[in-house]
Structure 1
Amino acid sequence: MKKVLLLLANGFEAAEASVFTDVIGWNKSDGDGTTDLITVGTREKLKCTFNFTVIPEMHINEVNIDEFDALAVPGGFEEAGFYEDAYSEDFLNIIREFDKRGKIIASICVGALPIGKSGVLACRNATTYNFGKRQKQLSEFGANVLGDEPIVVDKNIITSYNPSTAFGVAFKLLEMLTSKENCDNVKKLMGF
Structure 2
Amino acid sequence: MKRILLLLANGFESYEASVFTDVFGWNLYEGDRTTELVSVGLHSVLECTWGYSCIPMHQLQEIELGDFDALAIPGGFEEANFYEDAFSEEFLEVIREFDQQNKPIAAICVAGLAVAKSGVLSGRTGTTYRFKNNPRQMQMRQLGVQVLSTERIVEDQNIITSSSPETALDVAFRLLEKLTSKENTFEVKQRMGFTK
Normalised-by-shorter TM-score class: over 0.9
> Of 169, 172, 189, which aligns to 1:170?
172
2:110 is paired with a residue of what secondary structure?
A: helix
1:150 aligns with 2:135: no
Amino acid at match of 1:136: M
Once the 2 structures are TM-superposed, how far is the Cα of residue 52 of structure 1 from its aligned partner? 2.0
Once the 2 structures are TM-superposed, how far is the Cα of residue 63 of structure 1 from its aligned partner? 2.5
Write out the 4+ residue segments of structure 1 that deviate beyond 3 Å after TM superposition: none
> Of 171, 186, 189, which aligns to 1:187?
189
In structure 1, distance between residues paired with 2:42 and 2:25: 23
1:182 is paired with a residue of what secondary structure?
A: helix
Once the 2 structures are TM-superposed, how far is the Cα of residue 60 of structure 1 from its aligned partner? 1.2
Amino acid at match of 1:160: S
Once the 2 structures are TM-superposed, how far is the Cα of residue 189 of structure 1 from its aligned partner? 0.5
Once the 2 structures are TM-superposed, how far is the Cα of residue 73 of structure 1 from its aligned partner? 0.4
In structure 2, distance between residues paired with 1:62 and 1:94: 13
Deviations 1:86-112 (A, max 9, x none): 011110000000000000000100010
User: Paired residue for 1:121?
Assistant: 121
1:174 is paired with a residue of what secondary structure?
A: helix
User: Paired residue for 1:72?
Assistant: 72
In structure 1, distance between residues paired with 2:138 and 2:162: 14
In structure 1, distance between residues paired with 2:187 and 2:113: 32
User: Paired residue for 1:139?
Assistant: 141
User: Paired residue for 1:3?
Assistant: 3
Amino acid at match of 1:123: G
In structure 1, distance between residues paired with 2:87 and 2:112: 11
Do the aligned residues in 2 keep the contact of 1:47 with 1:53 (CA within 8 Å)?
A: yes
Amino acid at match of 1:187: K
2:174 is paired with a residue of what secondary structure?
A: helix
Once the 2 structures are TM-superposed, how far is the Cα of residue 42 of structure 1 from its aligned partner? 1.0
Deviations 1:66-122 (A, max 9, x none): 100000000000000000010111100000000000000001000100100000000
In structure 2, distance between residues paired with 1:101 and 1:17: 23
Once the 2 structures are TM-superposed, how far is the Cα of residue 153 of structure 1 from its aligned partner? 0.4
Stretches of structure 2 lacking an aligned partner (at least 5 in a row): none
2:4 is paired with a residue of what secondary structure?
A: strand
Do the aligned residues in 2 keep the contact of 1:14 with 1:52 (CA within 8 Å)?
A: no
Stretches of structure 1 lacking an aligned partner (at least 5 in a row): none
Deviations 1:30-66 (A, max 9, x none): 0000000000001110010001210001111222111
User: Paired residue for 1:112?
Assistant: 112
In structure 2, distance between residues paired with 1:31 and 1:127: 30
Percent identity of equivalent pairs: 59
In structure 1, distance between residues paired with 2:153 and 2:101: 22
Do the aligned residues in 2 keep the contact of 1:13 with 1:75 (CA within 8 Å)?
A: yes
Give me the TM-score of the superposition, normalised by structure 1. 0.99
User: Paired residue for 1:40?
Assistant: 40
1:153 is paired with a residue of what secondary structure?
A: strand
Give me the TM-score of the superposition, normalised by structure 2. 0.97
